[in-house]
Amino acid sequence: MALRLPAIMKTTAARLSALYLILFTLCAVLLVFYMTSLSARMLTGQTMETINEEVQGLGSAYQRGGLPLLVRTIERRSRQPGANLYLIADANGRILSGNVQSLQPGVLNTDGWTEIPFSYQRFGEGADRRNTNSADPEPAQMDVEARHNAIAVVLRLPNQMIVMVGRDLGEPERFRAVVRRALMVALGMMGLGAALIWYFVGRTALRHIDNVSEASRRIMGGDLSGRLPVTGAGDEFDRLSENLNTMLARIANLNEGLKQVSDNIAHDLKTPLTRLRNRAEAALSGQQKPAEYRAALEGTIAESDQLIRTFNAILMISRLEAGYSAEAVSKVDLAAAVRDVVELYEPVAEEAGVGLETAAAGSFIVDGNRELVAQALSNIVDNAMKYSVDSTEKPMVRVTLERVAGEIRLSVIDNGQGIPDDGDRKRVTERFVRLEKSRSQPGSGLGLSLAKAIMKFHHGRLELSSANPGLSVIMTFPEREAGK
């Protein structure tokens, strides 16, 4: 725990908490001082009011009965228990009557209100103690103990006698002490609470971050399937973790793509490379006629061209999946793209006896890349033509461009045998997947995966469904955003 405390201090949460704690303490201390001084002032005011009332009472007694009545009143009042002080002294300050035994020197020299509280000793109190504790070596100390603080008003009678009316401050002082103690206790508890909250909040934050760094260390260690913990609290840590997780998913996805590419290169390019090598080797072995050498070399070139084609397709797919440069995007007229591609394939279709029909009425502008759209469409049309040939009727390929449910749908439908199996239809857009019956056809097995990657690049999708009996390949483009 001692080791972790400095670490806690390094967290932002803890530093902020410490700052708030200091500010809070300052405010609280100020509050305590304000409260105590306010209450003290209030009590002093009350005390002075009481004294004023007493002075008024004594004054009226003096007016009614002169000095004797005043002295009598004071003596009577002195005997009553209470906090009031009365004193009559002669002009020299010798105490004649009242309930005060001794005073702090100099008090009787003032005129009017004493400016600061003074100490005094009541009759009876100090004397008693002094008697019972006569063995005490420091009586002066006891004297101090028995003294009380008070405030008073000192008046001089016309005959120079001094009358002092005061009030003990013990009660307000006690009250003030109580208030101060209560406030100090409250402050202490609040401080402790703040420190505890600070500690736990800081530690929670620290634990969150520790978990996140622990998880990221694991991920950096190579476990790309690992994810940062999400507590479900929906706080900023969760949001951060969720965002990082999304990022990790994207990285894992890209990494997976990369791995797949290298696997594919290793697996699917090695086969034709082996074939290429075998062909060259066979040509070299034994005596051959020049025409045979030529045929072997031509075969080698054809084989390597096919390899290059496959390689280009793989690179293109991975580049599309990794995100293509936005510079390649502009307005594309799909209707024109369909016209161009159909026009490109029309002579081939005619030669192969395949009917190629188009239905594309209206304007279909999307954001994209004309070249990529044409490439995807020509791959699909090329496929459709190849597989429509085994139709029982006249082979037909129909290219339709239409708006369906706010999206632009470009479908290529043939009337061949199609792909009856649902699983096969899903699989066929994966890289290098070639269904059994298509193995005899030329192709790399990348045409549909490339089309799929191109559709993904256009924020659209490529879907395959059965056209009963043929295959329907649907390219769906999102409608172009207005105002762009």
Partner 1 sequence: MNANIMEQAEIAYSGAMKILVIEDDREAAEYLEKALAEAGHTAHVAGDGETGFALADSGDYDAMIVDRMLPRRDGLSVIAGLRSRGNTTPVLILSALGEVDDRVTGLRAGGDDYLTKPYAFSELLARIEVLNRRAASREAETVYRTGDLELDRLSHTVRRASQDITLQPREFRLLEYLMRHAGQVVTRTMLLENVWDYHFDPQTNVIDVHVSRLRGKIEKGFDSPILHTVRGAGYMLKAG
Strands 365-368 and 396-404 come out as unpaired
Selection from 463, 450, 461, 459 nearest residue 367 by Cα:
459
Q: Which residue, 229 or 443, has its beta carbon nearer to partner 1?
A: 443
Q: Which residue, 230 or 352, has its beta carbon nearer to partner 1?
A: 352
- Whole-number minimum distance, CB 268 to partner 1, in Å? 17
Q: Which residue, 128 or 350, has its beta carbon nearer to partner 1?
A: 350
**Residue 178 in tokens:** 């109580």
Q: Which residue, 32 or 344, has its beta carbon nearer to partner 1?
A: 344
CA quadruple 192, 196, 201, 202: dihedral, nearest 10: 90
Q: Which positions touch partner 1 (CB under 8 A)?
A: 301, 304-305, 308-309, 312, 316, 319, 324-325, 327-328, 340, 343-345, 347-348, 351, 369, 371-372, 374-375, 378-379, 382, 385, 442-443, 447
- Whole-number minimum distance, CB 340 to partner 1, in Å? 7
Going by the DSSP 8-state scheme, the letter that residue 303 receives in this structure is H
- Whole-number minimum distance, CB 478 to partner 1, in Å? 21
> Would you tell me how many other CB atoms lie within 10 Å of the CB of residue 150?
26
Going by the DSSP 8-state scheme, the letter that residue 109 receives in this structure is G
Q: Which residue, 230 or 283, has its beta carbon nearer to partner 1?
A: 283
- Whole-number minimum distance, CB 399 to partner 1, in Å? 15
Q: Residue 155, class by beta-carbon neighbours within 10 Å (0-12 exposed, 13-18 middle, 19+ buried)? A: middle
- Whole-number minimum distance, CB 319 to partner 1, in Å? 6
Report which residue type is found at 424. D
**CA of 443: how far to CAs of 379, 382, 435, in Å?**
10, 10, 12
Selection from 332, 331, 403, 398 nearest residue 361 by Cα:
403
Contact 344, 308 (CB under 8 A): no
CA quadruple 169, 172, 178, 184: dihedral, nearest 10: -90
- Whole-number minimum distance, CB 16 to partner 1, in Å? 48
Q: Which residue, 128 or 346, has its beta carbon nearer to partner 1?
A: 346
- Whole-number minimum distance, CB 212 to partner 1, in Å? 38
Going by the DSSP 8-state scheme, the letter that residue 259 receives in this structure is H
- Whole-number minimum distance, CB 409 to partner 1, in Å? 23
Q: Which residue, 169 or 320, has its beta carbon nearer to partner 1?
A: 320
The alpha helices in 322-421, defined as continuous H runs, are 334-352, 370-388
- Whole-number minimum distance, CB 436 to partner 1, in Å? 20
Contact 410, 384 (CB under 8 A): no
Q: Residue 17, class by beta-carbon neighbours within 10 Å (0-12 exposed, 13-18 middle, 19+ buried)? A: buried
> Would you tell me how many other CB atoms lie within 10 Å of the CB of residue 272?
15
Q: Which residue, 168 or 414, has its beta carbon nearer to partner 1?
A: 414
